[in-house]
Structure 1
Amino acid sequence: MVNEVLLSVRELLPMIAERADKVDESRRVSEQVIRELGDAGMFAMLQPKRYGGAECNPVHFYETVRAISGVCGSTGWLASVLGVHPWHLALFDDRAQRDVWGHDNSVLLSSAYAPVGRLTPVDGGYRLSGDWHFSSGCEHASWALLGAMVVGTEGKPVDFLTVLVPRSDYRIHDVWDVVGMRGTASNEITVDDCFVPDYRTKRNFETAQLRGAGQKVNRGPLYRLPFATIFTTAVTAPGVGVVAGCYERFLTVMRERVRLSLGGGRFVEDQFAQVSVARASSEIDAAILQMDRNVRELWELAVAGEELPMALRLRVRRDQVRATERALDAIDLLFKTAGASSLSRGNAIERAWRDAHAGSVHVANEPERALALFGRGAFGLPVEDNLV
């Protein structure tokens, strides 16, 4: 099947590439770029057809994310995280979906899933308060998905929920001034004692068990896939795309380079540079091929209405974190091989190196936890974790 959104997005890539420096300097992706990506269908790829979305094969979504990230890491990150939230909203009660998309199905959502919020049960729902860091693209969004703990009568956490909150109920603090992915504007969100109706909440345990109110109305295969596949891959895909794009620019630039030291000569004739290119390209290919294979296998099982085996779900997480590690190995190799020219502030290799490393520190890219879970499964030990 042709990825129609990717065809449309490719027409935008020269413009996005031209603005990459400004995005990095200003710490913002422009409203125009977000609007044009929306017009191209980027943010509706994983949205239910019932609300104007494409409900497409997620492999196409990640492919499109990588293409955007290849010319601007920050824009690709926002395309991915803002684009994945419609999928998560589709798992909520249909009343929550109507609240968001009932009048405008192009509305965007941001997130901050760390369970730092405090939920106190009241009639019909909860009172919510908290401060959340790192809500990427929150200034482009009208709603936020926030992680919170339900506090029992003894003041201790008794459940972990994701809650849906409208823009009118939270404040945004502009604090995002960092070394990489600078244009994602991953700012802080504060909620001071707002009411959240029960239907705008989702138990994380139920999400991990692939069940909930949303699947009763959104019956397509896309919504039978694990959060730990769809969201974590959305966090990894931008970094892999950044490095893949940098690799192509590296080849273009270095073909014309002449060494001024180490005996001179054309850079492309250096055997060590040739070996570095081979290693870097292999790491990039391995990352992409494994991620796409795994997501495609899950998709095909969901389309067929078959059970998603735990061994495959664990493999998805294994290869997802390894994809980030492979991308970092590749960008580090390219950065080092390019020599001192990599150090110039604002050049494509330097920015890609910063963006890839910045994206890698997201908790979804933490390798040890995911790899240990795979190891437990491989040894036949029980695996109980919401991020599988």
Structure 2
Amino acid sequence: MADDVLEAVLDLIPGIASRAADTDRIGRIPDDTIRELVSAGVFRMLQPSRYGGLETEPARFYEVVRTVSAACGSTGWVASVVGVHPWHLALFDDRAQHDVWGEDDSTLVSSAYAPAGRLVPVDGGYRLSGTWMFSSGCRFASWALLGAMIVGSEGRPVDFVTALVPRNDYTIRDVWNVVGMRGTSSDEIVVDDVFVPAHRIKSNYETSQLRGPGQRVNTGPLYRLPFAALFTTTVAVPIVGVVAGCYEEYLAAMRDRVRLSLGGGRFVDDPFAQVAVGRAASDIDAATLQLDHNIRELWALARAGEEIPLQLRLRTRRDQVRATERAIEAIDLLFKTAGGTSLFLGGIIERAWRDAHAGSVHVANEPQRAYALYGRDAFGLPVEDNLI
């Protein structure tokens, strides 16, 4: 089934690529593109089979994400981020899953995981208020997964959780006016004192421990994987895909280019350009291979029913941020060696450069924390972090 999704997506790539410039210009993915991705099954790949999903091996999902991202960074980012939410929803109480997919199993969910909300306990659940930034694809979603703190009687946080909230209970503020990933429509979500039933609340600590009510009904290996491994890979793969797509466009554009400066001559005969291509290609390949290797190893352990060791979880985070760094190093090299033509707004190299850098500033792509966590463990020091 994953092959069917990839085959369907490959047929869509020429159209997605042709709309990439307009997606960037208007700051929104066209509705037709989202409908095509829905029809191709992209958003079902990590969804439980009980609700019409494919329960695909994650590496196959990320292959699809890379393919889409190579054609349009914004579309690939939304395909990745919105595409991983069915997996997270599958960890919730089955009543929450039914709330979303009971009537329409093609319903989409967005997210904003920063704990910007405040949950106050009441009978049967909680009252939620807050404002969340950066909810990618929220314009296409009917529900949102929102990070929040449960506060006790003294107003102090007692737990960090994710709340599932329907579209009728929040407003979206159009604030996404940015330099890169412009088409993701990662707007602001506002909730003003709404009721959230207890079954739509999921403890982040419980999730990090690979347990919860969802695993009792979704028993496949997909739902025995760590949240941090999947989510952080989800925000690295599109960047690698963007840069890989740019690399191919760069080669095509430069093969016939003749320089009017630096002594003239064909660009492809310049040994410095050849070295740049070699370095960029190596970085792209290394990023792809490391991400894929770790996700496949996690999957193999989950399928075998074996415990996933902390060292592998930390290595996955280490390599995920390094993959982002490698991708940025590659796109910077391509951008620089392309010369002045890379500066023109709307060009493929210029847009890819902006998209890659914009994606890299996501908190999960911040390298120092991930490296430090890996280093602590390597030195035998205790490691505590929900994002591993």
Letter in structure 2 aligned against 1:308: I
CA distances 1:162-185 after superposition (whole Å, capped 9, x unpaired): 000000000000010100000000
* 1:290-324 superposed Cα distances (whole Å, 9 cap, x missing partner): 00000000000000000101111100000000000
Structure 2: which 5+ runs fail to align? none
Conserved? CA contact 2:2–2:45, under 8 Å? no
What code does the residue aligned with 2:289 have? L
The one-letter amino acid paired with 1:288 is T
* CA–CA distance in structure 1, aligned partners of residues 87 and 370 of structure 2: 22
The answer to whether residue 334 in structure 2 is matched with residue 334 in structure 1 is yes
Distance in 2 between residues matched to 1:378 and 1:57, nearest whole Å:
29
Q: Which amino acid letter does the alignment assign opposite residue 259 of structure 2?
A: R
Tell me the SS of whatever aligns to 1:70. helix
Hey, what does 1:86 align to over in structure 2?
86
Partner in structure 1 of residue 110 of structure 2: 110
TM-score scaled by length of structure 2: 0.99
- The 5-angstrom pairing of residues 282-297 of structure 1 reads 282-297=282-297
Could you tell me which residue of structure 1 aligns to residue 59 of structure 2? 59
Alignment match, 1:269 = 269
Worse overlay, 100-109 or 372-381: 372-381
Root mean square deviation of aligned Cα: 0.7
Aligned to 1:122: 122
- Give 3-state SS (helix, strand or coil) of 1:11's partner: helix
Letter aligned with residue 324 of structure 2: T
- The aligned residue for residue 256 of structure 2 is 256
Alignment of 1:1-388 (within 5 A): 3-388=3-388
Name stretches of at least 5 consecutive residues in structure 1 with no aligned partner: none
Per-residue CA shift, 1:257-300, capped at 9, x if unaligned? 00010000000000000000000000000000000000000000
Runs of 4+ in 1 over 6 A off after TM superposition: none
* Residue identity opposite 1:324 in structure 2: T
Q: Give the Å deviation of 1:384.
A: 1.0
* TM-score normalised by L of structure 1: 0.99
Amino acid at match of 1:270: D
SS at match of 2:235: helix
- Which letter does structure 2 place at the counterpart of 1:356? A
**Offset at 1:3?**
2.5
CA–CA distance in structure 2, aligned partners of residues 231 and 375 of structure 1: 21
User: 1:3 & 1:265 partners in 2: Cα distance?
Assistant: 44
What secondary structure does 1:3 align onto? helix
Equivalenced residues, count: 388
| SS of 1:56 mapped into structure 2 | coil
Q: What is the DSSP-based 3-state SS (H/G/I as helix, E as strand, rest coil) of the residue aligned with 1:381? A: coil
8 Å Cα contact 2:268/2:274 also seen in 1: yes
- Kept in 1, the 8 Å contact 2:2–2:56? The answer is no
Q: Quick one: distance in 2 between partners of 1:233 and 1:132?
A: 22
SS at match of 1:375: helix
Output the CA distance in 1 between the equivalents of 2:285 and 2:194.
47
> Residue 236 of structure 2: SS of its match in structure 1?
helix
Q: CA deviation at 1:4?
A: 2.2
* Local SS of the residue matching 1:80: helix
